[in-house]
Amino acid sequence: MFTFSDYKKLKPDIRAIATRYWAEVVKQRLGVTTPNQILAKHLGEEVTSIPGWSNNSSRFWNRMLQGKALLRENSADKTEGLLPGTKAIFTHSLWQLLGSNSFEQVFINKILLSLSPEIRGCIFKVNSDGSLHRKTTLSTKTAQFICSSNSLDALTCLLALTLEAKKQGRLPVQRHYEMGVMSIFFRMAALTGLKVVAMQVYELISNIFNQSADDIKRITAYDESLPIPSRILPAQYPQTQRALGYLETILTLATQKRLIGEDDKERAIFLNQINHTNIADMLMELVSVEQKFELIGTNSTVLSKVLREVKKHRATKSD
């Protein structure tokens, strides 16, 4: 629904975020760590040059990793040929949502319609004539499915629904979806390439939520009293960076103690069980645990509950 031309029209700071995220995803999917290695993967063993790629210089990928604007769409096409699906990052509706100053219903629906069929199907139903119609409500199961997904589409979906609820003055609904936004955001920042732009994305999210005295009053009276990760907070709130650090520490400790493996799905399941009320308990339990996964007790600790979900996943994989 959005095109490369829409990417080029983005505000410079948001365009830089989209570019840096794209470059980081490319780097991770190629399994490399430097601009030279990214270029080498594009060139292959037999090819010595590609027209327009700075005479095989890695300067292009240095610029992309720094967030410089991608001016030629065909450069994205070259990478798309190597890594299908990466070009869509430039045209993702998240950047349009973060760069908007107006959240009218038509715009929100356009954002939601641009998402993947899997997520879009949660929001719209198909009429008998083949047209799409917004569902009036989301079931608890549907909301949980979206909240458990680690994707830009899921993050964008909940962010759009939260902004819609805010504009309509439905504060309980807004609070509910805010928590989902933060859950997906922190997981993606811990597990995916979103990490390199996490604080910039968080600042943009914060800015579109906290624009009035009433917004700040709500935060001061309610959100700052919560442990972290928490709800949408002011961008300068220092605990945001601390929350990201805590999640990384939790993953590192759990892996070192062989409670979880390197499997992305397993790590996501592990983080899915962590929320703002149990993150401190989880850290303390991980610090004290010395047993392997199979020896964890079945008491009611936070850790044992989380590991039971991981164990279910392992059992499903082995079936």
pLDDT tens, position by position, 278-289: 777 788 888 877
pLDDT number for residue 315: 82
Q: What is the pLDDT of residues 165-205, one digit of tens each?
A: 988 888 888 878 887 888 888 889 888 999 999 989 988 88
Residue 89 Cα distances to 30, 157, 212, 214, angstroms:
16, 15, 31, 34
**∠ at Cα 179 (174, 180), nearest 5°?**
100
Closest by alpha carbon to 155, among 235, 93, 243?
93
Rounded Cα distance between 81 and 317, Å, is 31
Confidence of residue 154 (pLDDT cuts 50, 70, 90): very high
Whether residue 22 contacts residue 89, with contact meaning beta carbons closer than 8 Å, is answered with yes
Given a cut of 70, is residue 226 above it in pLDDT? no
Mean pLDDT throughout 16-24? Answer: 97
Residue 79 Cα distances to 50, 195, 291, angstroms:
12, 21, 44
Considering the entire predicted model, what is its pTM? 0.82
Mean pLDDT throughout 126-131? Answer: 82
Given a cut of 50, is residue 60 above it in pLDDT? yes
pLDDT number for residue 249: 86
Whether residue 116 contacts residue 94, with contact meaning beta carbons closer than 8 Å, is answered with no
Which stretches of 31-70 are DSSP H helices? 35-43, 59-65
pLDDT number for residue 236: 52
Rounded Cα distance between 57 and 79, Å, is 16
Which of the residue ranges 157-161, 168-172, 224-228 has the most confident prediction, judged by mean pLDDT? 157-161
Name the phi and psi angles at 232, rounded to 5. -65, 120
Mean pLDDT throughout 44-51? Answer: 54
pLDDT greater at residue 232 or residue 4 = 4
pLDDT number for residue 105: 92
